[in-house]
Amino acid sequence: EPAVRLVVTSGYASTSMLQRRFKIGYTRAARIVDVMEEQGIVGPLDGAKPREVLIGKGDIDRIFGKQLFGDDHEESFEEEDEE
């Protein structure tokens, strides 16, 4: 949820932004962005450009209220990747 709020607020999604903001490794950040794409939150990869955000701020509570993400997609930002 914090990652979704960040990308919606900033207006774009990029792996490097998530890495810097949450102090996580590339693999975890890329996986989070991929899940956001699967859920229709961000658009597809377009070269080196940041991904387009497809939802608005008002959609965040609706999304998490309906449990769009399953437990298998929960990410903890407390642990650092082992890479």
Angstrom distance (rounded) from CA 7 to CA 4: 5
Instruction: Report residue 66's pLDDT band, with 50, 70 and 90 as the boundaries.
Output: low
Angstrom distance (rounded) from CA 38 to CA 51: 13
- Rg of the chain over Cα atoms, rounded to whole angstroms, equals 12
- The share of the chain scoring above pLDDT 90, in percent, equals 59
Q: Is residue 82 in some structural domain?
A: no
Residues across the chain: 83
Neighbours of 1 (CB within 10 A): 12
Q: Is residue 80 in some structural domain?
A: no
Q: Is residue 78 in some structural domain?
A: no
Q: Is residue 20 in some structural domain?
A: yes
Examine the pLDDT at 78 and tell me if it is beyond 50: no
Residues 6+ apart with CB under 8 A from 74: none
Angstrom distance (rounded) from CA 3 to CA 36: 9
41: domain CATH number is 1.10.10.10
**Counted domains in the chain:** 1
pTM above 0.75, yes or no: no
